[in-house]
């Protein structure tokens, strides 16, 4: 009889957003007429920017003619897209990243999941707490997390970097030496950002300790304030220690289209068992070519069109739209005395549950009494207990209605 990967049994419960969907469905079964507003999973609601849509229509036409038909594309992405990314997202901003360091994929969730497999089994992993659960779960599946401690609700083999009110939701450097550090900025779920100096401390730590920073920058387009770093490569030395993940999902309405990219600079090296330096980009390329057959031509044409002047303007309008929602939520919560964070450089609002209600109890209260679905903070880790996340990705109308319902609840 075949045996399973035993580490799958170490996973706790179901995946956060599946559990939320399950509870929502159960509630709807009992209350079929409930007009539920979902501000839970960070899924976008605005349609595709027209620049991307028309480029995709034209690409479909290409696929219908023998002369322009495409089969498998390069696994790493077409040059036209890799070059557009390198130029517009990096070189034009004074950052040294080349097109051949950009790997196009079908989503950052897959990339941040898959990246760990090119590192050693005994690599010590550090995550922020609260954290996007995928970083933890994929390391559990890989057998890197150790036993789960039910007292602390944490894996013994993972180093948790607590981000709470007491440290402004900004983690301290690890007290022990770690090999892989997942950082996400603008942060999901807290919506916080780091200053250049704060990010530099991480780069310096990684250089000193031979660590690799896995920098999830999926929400970069939402940065509004001057001086907040958009890319870790703005920090000197980051090319030697960091991998950066970016996505078109939240920026350009691509959650259903699927396109993202990962930057692996040629200067980033790690050791093999004999102590030799190995370029991480070569390993990532090897993994990509073995396990992935590339993003569709049509999708990549759509993504490339986002870098045209029209595409850029349409993205800016999308981001403005969602950030106006964020402000509505933030102002609404504050108007009834609820402590809330984020929502300024990120599409997420992180609120402290009133009267110390625990996160799932708050979820149930909001669902039952206001028919609103959000995300319990504890679902992102133990340090998220007593917090709750709302997303700004709803429609304006639903956001306004949700804010009205929340503020009327009486706190």
Q: Which residues bind ligand MLT (CB under 6 A)?
A: 41-43, 109, 132, 188
Task: Kindly state the smallest distance separating residue 260's Cβ from ligand MLT, in Å.
Answer: 10
Residues 6+ apart with CB under 8 A from 255: 43, 44, 249
Q: Tell me how far apart the alpha carbons of residues 22 and 9 are, in angstroms, rounded to a whole number.
A: 20
Q: Tell me how far apart the alpha carbons of residues 340 and 190 are, in angstroms, rounded to a whole number.
A: 10
Q: Which of 212, 228, 208 is nearest to 220 (CA)?
A: 228
Comparing CB distances to ligand MLT, the nearer of 41 and 357 is: 41
Residue closest to ligand MLT, measured at CB: 42
Comparing CB distances to ligand MLT, the nearer of 245 and 307 is: 245
Task: Kindly state the smallest distance separating residue 237's Cβ from ligand MLT, in Å.
Answer: 29
Task: Kindly state the smallest distance separating residue 145's Cβ from ligand MLT, in Å.
Answer: 20
Comparing CB distances to ligand MLT, the nearer of 109 and 288 is: 109
Q: Tell me how far apart the alpha carbons of residues 259 and 248 are, in angstroms, rounded to a whole number.
A: 6
Task: Answer yes or no: are the C-beta atoms of 95 and 237 closer than 8 Å.
Answer: no
Task: Kindly state the smallest distance separating residue 376's Cβ from ligand MLT, in Å.
Answer: 12
Comparing CB distances to ligand MLT, the nearer of 311 and 377 is: 377
C-alpha to C-alpha distances, 95 to 9, 11, 90, 172, 265, nearest whole angstrom: 43, 39, 5, 27, 12
Task: Kindly state the smallest distance separating residue 188's Cβ from ligand MLT, in Å.
Answer: 5
Task: Answer yes or no: are the C-beta atoms of 24 and 229 closer than 8 Å.
Answer: no
Q: Tell me how far apart the alpha carbons of residues 101 and 285 are, in angstroms, rounded to a whole number.
A: 10
Task: Answer yes or no: are the C-beta atoms of 335 and 405 closer than 8 Å.
Answer: no
Task: Kindly state the smallest distance separating residue 138's Cβ from ligand MLT, in Å.
Answer: 12
């Amino acid at each position: 009889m075949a045996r399973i990967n035993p580490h799958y049994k170490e996973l706790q419960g179901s995946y956060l957003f599946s559990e939320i969907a399950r509870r929502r469905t159960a509630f709807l079964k009992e209350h079929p007429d409930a007009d539920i507003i979902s501000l839970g999973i960070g899924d976008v609601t605005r349609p595709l920017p027209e620049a991307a849509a028309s480029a995709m229509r034209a690409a479909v036409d290409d696929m219908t003619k023998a002369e322009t038909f495409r089969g498998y594309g390069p696994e790493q992405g077409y040059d036209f897209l890799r070059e557009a990314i390198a130029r517009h997202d990096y070189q034009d901003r004074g950052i040294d990243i080349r097109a051949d360091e950009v790997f196009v994929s079908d989503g950052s969730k897959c990339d941040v999941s898959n990246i760990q497999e090119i590192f050693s089994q005994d690599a010590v992993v550090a995550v922020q707490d609260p954290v996007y659960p995928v970083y933890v779960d994929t390391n559990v599946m890989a057998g890197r997390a150790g036993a789960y401690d039910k007292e602390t609700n944490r894996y013994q083999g993972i180093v948790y970097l607590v981000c709470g009110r007491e440290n402004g939701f900004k983690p301290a450097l690890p007290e022990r030496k770690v090999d892989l550090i997942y950082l996400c900025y603008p942060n999901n779920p807290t919506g916080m950002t780091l200053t250049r100096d704060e990010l530099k401390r991480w780069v310096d730590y990684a250089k000193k300790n031979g660590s690799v920073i896995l920098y999830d920058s999926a929400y970069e387009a939402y940065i509004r304030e001057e001086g907040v770093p958009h890319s870790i490569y703005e920090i000197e030395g980051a090319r030697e220690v960091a991998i950066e993940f970016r996505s078109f999902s939240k920026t350009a309405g691509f959650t259903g289209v699927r396109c993202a990219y990962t930057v692996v600079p040629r200067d980033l090296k790690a050791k093999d068992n004999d102590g030799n330096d190995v370029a991480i980009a070569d390993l990532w390329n090897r993994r990509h070519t073995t396990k992935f057959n590339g993003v569709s031509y049509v999708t990549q044409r759509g993504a490339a069109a986002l870098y045209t002047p029209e595409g850029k303007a349409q993205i800016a309008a999308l981001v403005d739209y969602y950030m106006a929602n964020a402000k509505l939520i933030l102002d609404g919560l504050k108007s009834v005395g609820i402590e809330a964070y984020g929502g300024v450089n990120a599409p997420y609002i992180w609120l402290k549950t009133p009267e110390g209600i625990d996160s799932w109890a708050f979820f149930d209260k909001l669902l039952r009494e206001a028919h609103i679905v959000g995300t319990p903070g504890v679902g992102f880790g133990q340090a998220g207990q007593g917090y709750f996340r709302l997303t700004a990705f709803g429609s304006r109308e639903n956001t306004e209605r949700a804010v009205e319902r929340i503020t009327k609840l009486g706190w």
